[in-house]
Structures are given as structure tokens and as C-alpha cells.
């Protein structure tokens, strides 16, 4: 079928809307009419050549929409179902067999090779392949193909146009708190970076009863929103010269947990130094380019502090994302407050606004 998608034709190029031929769904696949797609920093990294995906390529991996058709072997979804498309996993590697699908050993290939697992492409133009299958979805398109395994059915009364960001940024931040940290009521947390991932983690911390909840950023408007979403304290790192000392003062020695979302090495070190001696945990979710190094003071870590990385919130999307949606519907995760919606044709402006910090979480509305 003919669809419209945003293509990047070479490294660092702009997104261009064009018409392409989309393959039919196979036995284990579904055809999704994309209603909306979040824009994540990873999509920008793809545009700029961070990954192995060839060009021309179609990105997008926070897609939400309605099932249009299903393959002959699909049993859990039907046309008309509302779905979010989440991250792919192979199902057969040691990590997947241990139910740690976020750490699938084939994840890089499945997310960023530009093809289905068998090397076939979803899109063509004038008989030539257009690479996509980004996170096995490429949701910067009016329609796309997803595997049944990676599509999550969501309750029909939820605002489907707002839910795409839960597929990556939302479950990354919230999952890091809910699935990995698992704080007790009254545990302290400091969140470094109040973008979509950081604010999702902050809202999760509020739901779980953390206190104090400290937000650290350099943008006053984002810190103001962090307070609205549950931060008990905010620190503007442009004004506060001793962020670590300020957190130690607020928490009485250091935070039980810190969440690092910026992927800036100096901020990561600051997050680690802000943790409590004797068991404080610093969790890294910020995505840095390969080869990015960071240094820590070894005696500081030796005093019982924990540093660990987390991918995709260590979630099982088919069970975790519906829980997040329940929190959204209960008013406990007002994700709409960090979202700004754009017409699909304005994708380059949406990306520019995200890169400049004007917009926290851009979401593209697809025309139909």
C-alpha cells in the first residue's frame, strides 16, 4: 500500500515527507494506522548517523495507533485495537530466556539495522529499498508494520494520541524507578535532567511516595514543571555551584537514589557523588554515544554506593505499559503537561524545538 513517511536521505539531513510502498504484514505481523508518534533523542541520533542503519531511512520508535489488519498467525490483536509499539527483542538469547528482554543480545541489530530480522525491508520507492524497521516500527509514517510481539494493546478509553512516548522515554524513566530502584515511601531521590525521561521518573517517584524528590536542571521553566509534577525541591545547576552539597543538605547526607538522564559525563559523576554512603544507588539511563567515558573517585564508590545502568526501564512492556496508562488515566501521571503536539509536516520544527529545549516531548499527529 502507498503510505507517507518522513525519510532522511543522508547523514545530518532534514526529514522529508514522501510517498513509499509499504509491504504487507506477514503471518506474525500487524498493519498499524499510526495516530501519533513521539520524537525521542534516539530518533535524532539516527538522523545524525549514530547507528549502523543505512540511508535513506525512516525513523520513529514511539508510535501509537490502531490495528488496521493482522497476519494469519496473529492471535492477541485484531483490527480496531489500540496499540503502542515498543522495543524489539529476539526471545532466544540468554537475556531473553532469563526474562530480561530489555537487554536482548540482538537488540542493536533489531533496533538499528534498518530491516526486519531476516534482512528484508518494509519500504520501497521506485523499486529501491528504503531502510526502516527502526525499533521494528519506524513510526514516522502514516501506516507501518509491527510484529505482534512488540505491540501492546491498550485500553480504548485512553488518549491514544498522547500515549506513544510511553513506549520509550516514559517507560525508561518510570521503569528505572518502579522496576529497578523500587523505593520505599520516604526514600529520597534526585533526578538529574527534567526532559521526558527525567519527568517520567519523577512522576513515578511521587506515585511511590518518595520524599524528598529533588529535580536538577539548568532550565527554569522545566524546573517549574518539575515542581508541578511532584518535585519537593528544585536545583538550578546554572545558579547553584555546589549541587552535590545542596542535595546532601536537603537529604541529610545524600539521596537514597539518583537518576541520571542527561548522558553528560560531568553530570553522571555529580549524580553518583550525590548518593548516600552505605547503599545509595545511582542509575544511569541517559544514552551516550559509543566511546563516551566517565571517571569516578574510587574511594567514594567503595563506601557502599552502587552505580548501575538501565535500558528501557527494565520493563516487560506488555504488562508495564498498561500499568503506566492506568496511572495516566487516574491523573497520577499527567504526561500531557510535558507534551507539545505538531502536525506531521512540521517534523523538522518539532525536532529543532526539542533540540533547543523549547519543547520537552514533541508528538507528531499523523494526517489521515
Burial class (CB in 10 A: 0-12, 13-18, 19+), 367: exposed
Q: Which residues pair with 189 in a beta bridge?
A: 213, 257
* pLDDT for residue 6: 98
* pLDDT for residue 289: 85
Q: Specify whether 209 is located in the same domain as 81.
A: no
Per-residue model confidence as pLDDT tens for the chain (368 residues): 999 999 999 999 999 999 999 999 999 999 999 999 999 999 999 999 999 999 999 999 999 999 999 999 999 999 999 999 999 999 999 999 999 999 999 999 999 999 999 999 999 999 999 999 999 999 999 999 999 999 999 999 999 999 999 999 999 999 999 999 999 999 999 999 999 999 999 999 999 999 999 999 999 999 999 999 999 999 999 999 999 999 999 999 999 999 999 999 999 999 999 999 999 999 999 988 889 999 999 999 999 999 999 999 999 999 999 999 999 999 999 999 999 999 999 999 999 999 999 999 999 999 98
Pairing state between β 29-38 and 143-147: antiparallel
The beta-carbon contacts of 46-52 under 8 Å, at least 24 apart in sequence, are 46/8, 46/112, 46/134, 47/8, 47/11, 47/12, 47/13, 47/15, 47/351, 48/11, 48/12, 49/11, 49/12, 50/289, 50/290, 51/111, 51/112, 52/108, 52/112, 52/113, 52/114
Q: Specify whether 146 is located in the same domain as 244.
A: no
* pLDDT for residue 248: 98
Which residue bears the cell 517520567? Answer: 200
**How many structural domains does the chain have?**
2
331: left (phi over 0), alpha (psi -120 to 50) or beta: left
The residue range of the domain holding 231 is 172-312
Q: Specify whether 9 is located in the same domain as 147.
A: yes
Ordered alpha helix ranges (H), the chain: 41-47, 94-97, 107-112, 160-163, 169-175, 196-207, 220-229, 243-251, 265-273, 298-302, 317-329, 347-356
Element at 101 (helix H, strand E):
none
* pLDDT for residue 315: 97
* pLDDT for residue 285: 97
Q: Specify whether 144 is located in the same domain as 176.
A: no
Quote the longest CA-to-CA distance of the chain.
65
Q: Specify whether 245 is located in the same domain as 345.
A: no
Q: Specify whether 75 is located in the same domain as 199.
A: no
3-state DSSP assignment of residue 190: strand
Q: Specify whether 144 is located in the same domain as 19.
A: yes
Is the bond preceding 360 in cis, omega lying within 30 degrees of 0?
Answer: no
3-state DSSP assignment of residue 48: coil
* pLDDT for residue 144: 98
Position 56 in a domain: yes
33: domain CATH number? 3.90.180.10
The number of C-alpha atoms within 13 Å of 35 and in the hemisphere containing its C-beta is 19
Position 326 in a domain: no
Element at 133 (helix H, strand E):
none
3-state DSSP assignment of residue 45: helix
The b-or-e profile of 78-92 (16+ CB within 10 A means b, else e) is: eeebbbbbbbbbbee
Q: Which residues pair with 145 in a beta bridge?
A: 31
Position 320 in a domain: no
Amino acid at each position: 500500500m502507498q503510505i507517507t513517511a518522513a525519510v532522511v536521505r543522508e547523514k545530518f539531513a532534514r526529514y522529508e515527507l514522501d510517498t513509499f510502498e509499504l509491504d504487507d504484514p506477514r503471518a506474525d505481523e500487524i498493519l498499524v494506522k499510526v495516530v501519533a508518534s513521539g520524537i525521542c533523542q534516539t530518533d535524532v541520533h539516527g538522523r545524525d548517523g549514530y547507528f549502523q542503519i543505512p540511508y535513506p531511512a525512516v525513523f520513529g520508535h514511539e508510535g501509537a495507533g490502531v490495528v488496521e489488519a493482522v497476519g494469519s498467525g496473529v492471535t492477541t490483536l485484531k483490527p480496531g485495537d489500540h496499540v503502542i509499539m515498543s522495543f524489539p527483542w529476539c526471545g532466544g538469547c540468554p537475556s531473553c530466556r532469563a526474562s530480561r528482554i530489555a537487554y536482548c543480545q540482538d537488540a542493536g541489530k533489531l533496533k538499528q539495522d534498518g530491516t526486519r530480522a531476516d534482512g528484508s525491508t518494509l519500504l520501497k520507492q521506485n523499486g529501491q529499498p528504503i531502510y526502516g524497521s527502526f525499533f521494528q516500527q519506524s513510526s514516522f509514517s502514516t501506516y507501518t508494520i509491527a510484529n505482534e510481539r512488540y505491540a501492546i494493546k491498550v485500553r480504548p478509553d485512553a488518549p491514544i494520541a498522547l500515549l506513544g512516548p510511553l513506549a520509550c522515554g516514559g517507560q525508561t524513566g518510570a521503569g528505572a524507578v518502579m522496576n529497578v530502584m523500587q523505593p520505599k515511601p520516604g526514600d529520597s531521590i534526585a533526578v538529574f535532567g527534567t526532559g521526558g525521561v527525567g519527568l517520567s521518573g519523577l512522576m513515578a517517584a511521587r506515585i511511590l511516595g518518595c520524599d524528598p524528590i529533588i529535580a536538577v536542571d539548568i532550565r527554569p521553566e522545566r524546573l517549574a514543571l518539575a515542581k508541578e509534577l511532584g518535585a519537593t525541591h528544585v536545583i538550578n545547576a546554572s545558579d547553584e555551584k555546589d549541587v552535590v552539597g545542596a542535595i546532601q543538605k536537603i537529604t541529610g547526607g545524600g539521596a537514597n537514589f539518583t537518576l541520571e538522564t542527561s548522558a553528560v559525563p560531568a553530570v553522571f559523576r555529580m549524580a553518583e557523588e550525590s548518593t548516600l554512603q552505605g547503599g545509595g544507588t545511582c542509575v544511569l539511563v541517559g544514552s551516550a554515544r559509543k566511546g563516551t567515558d566517565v571517571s569516578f573517585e574510587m574511594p567514594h564508590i567503595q563506601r557502599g554506593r552502587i552505580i548501575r545502568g538501565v535500558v528501557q526501564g527494565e520493563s516487560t512492556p506488555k504488562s508495564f505499559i498498561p500499568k503506566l496508562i492506568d496511572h495516566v488515566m487516574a491523573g497520577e501521571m499527567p504526561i500531557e503537561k510535558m507534551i507539545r503536539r505538531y502536525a506531521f509536516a512540521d517534523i523538522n520544527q518539532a525536532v529543532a524545538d526539542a533540540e533547543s529545549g523549547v519543547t520537552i516531548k514533541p508528538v507528531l499527529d499523523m494526517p489521515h
